[in-house]
Each structure stands twice: as structure tokens, then as C-alpha cells.
Amino acid sequence: MKIDHLTPEDWAHHDPSGFQRFCRVLVARPGRMIYRYRGYGHWPRVPEEGGFLLAPGPHGAYMDPFIFGLGQPRTRLRFMAKADALGWPIAGRFVRWGGGFPVLRGGGRSASALAVARTVVESGDGLVLFMEGRMSLDHDGLATPRDGLAILALLTGAPVVPVAAYGAKRASAYGRRWWQHRPKVTAVWGEPISFAREEQPSGERVAEVRDAIWGEVTRCFEQARVIHHRPGGRPPIGASLEDALRVSEVER
């Protein structure tokens, strides 16, 4: 699929809500079953209206945008994708229909993607942005965060929703063979946090905000891992985070 004719303005104003509603009706319930998804934590998980930034971690699978989309009700989510993926003949179309827009890495070429992302958030849509920048496949934990989401949080003043999941990576990340690993995803959603809007944030301020956001993502991830391996199994859907983390003496 050729995407060279599309301008940043085209990407910024692309509306994926119809396709996302279709996917939610058609595949959300089977997806929850296939991935055995259970989410815990703050409610409402994302703002009911207005632009926001979703800060998920870790990024370890191509299906991550779909997996994190399962846990929230908004139907206009956008996300960055490497430009090569959008050029794939079939999968690239689904990435675009689903709300993806391209980012070119290196040499300052990500500036146009950052401008698109800012327009998306300021127009009232949600943006999924993996702070690690690329997939981390060789272990089950988090990788190193980058500055992009922190810069957007300061440029837009939009609320940032930290969330983390455990269990979504490929089998080798958990020391298993593929035939020994059935997906089981446990997600923990944090409370939205906001930062004062700054048009030209300093490098020190960006680093400070990045570390603050990543600290919340890390906290969510550690809680998700504890719940995932909870003695006696995970609590049912609808359980509070406190109940999910609590282990009774019987379970011990």
C-alpha cells in the first residue's frame, strides 16, 4: 500500500472510529477470551471526553494497541506505527484503518509524526504512545523510556493515563516454548495525571515528566505481575485493585 501521497494533515484528521466500532462489536469479546484479558485499577480508566495520552507498557507484541484498547470504552484511539508497517500490502491497510499513522525514525524525521500526534490530541482524540519506542521481545519486563510522550504531555497539557500489562509477550520472553504458552493478559490501569502546558519545555523538564510518567507505568506493571502470579489465581473481573492485590491466608 503506497502512503507517500498522504500529507501530515491527512494523517492527523483520519477518522478510524467506524472501523474501531466494527472491531469492538465483532472481535472485542472473542479477543478477551483468546487473551484471557482481565483489567484492574482506576475507574474511569480514560477521560470520558477530550484528548488524552495513553502510556502503556511494555511494548512486546504487534497486537498491543488492540490489547490495551480492550480495557477502555473510547472508539477514537490513534497510535504511531513505523512507516514500514503502513506500507505492508494487507496488514498496512488494517493499521491505517485502525488509527495508525507513520513515524520515521532517526535524523529528526520524527518531527512530522510529533506534529500529527499533537493535532490528534488537541482535536479531542486519544493517542496510544509506547514510551519505549520499539518492541522489547527478549525479556518479560519493561525497557527504557524515551521522551516523545513527555514532550506531547507538556505541549498539549492533556491528561496521561498510565497502564501496564503482563503476559502479552511471545512465549520466549517468559522462558517457554510457543506450544507451552497460552496468552493470559493482566492489566492494571493507573489514575490520569496532568502537567501544566509548556510551549517550549526544557530538556530537564521533559526528563522530569518522562520519569514521573514512567514511574507510574512501572508501578502498574509491578502490580500487574503480582496479580498475574497471584496464588489461587486472578480475582474475577470487576474486583478492585486492592482486592486483586490482597492474598488471603488460605491462598498463601
The pLDDT profile of the chain, 252 residues, written as one tens digit per residue, is 556 566 778 888 888 888 888 888 888 888 888 889 999 999 889 998 999 999 999 998 878 888 888 888 887 889 888 777 777 888 888 888 888 888 766 555 567 788 889 999 999 999 999 999 888 888 888 999 999 999 999 999 999 999 999 988 887 888 788 777 788 999 999 999 999 999 999 999 999 999 999 999 999 999 999 999 999 899 998 899 999 998 743 454
Q: What is the pTM of this model?
A: 0.89
> Cα-atom radius of gyration of the chain, to the nearest Å?
18
Query: How is the chain split into domains, by residue range?
Result: 8-245
Question: Which residues, listed in sequence order, are joined to residue 189 by a DSSP beta bridge?
Answer: 41, 163
**CATH 3.30.450 is held by the domain 8-245:** no
pLDDT reported for residue 106: 55
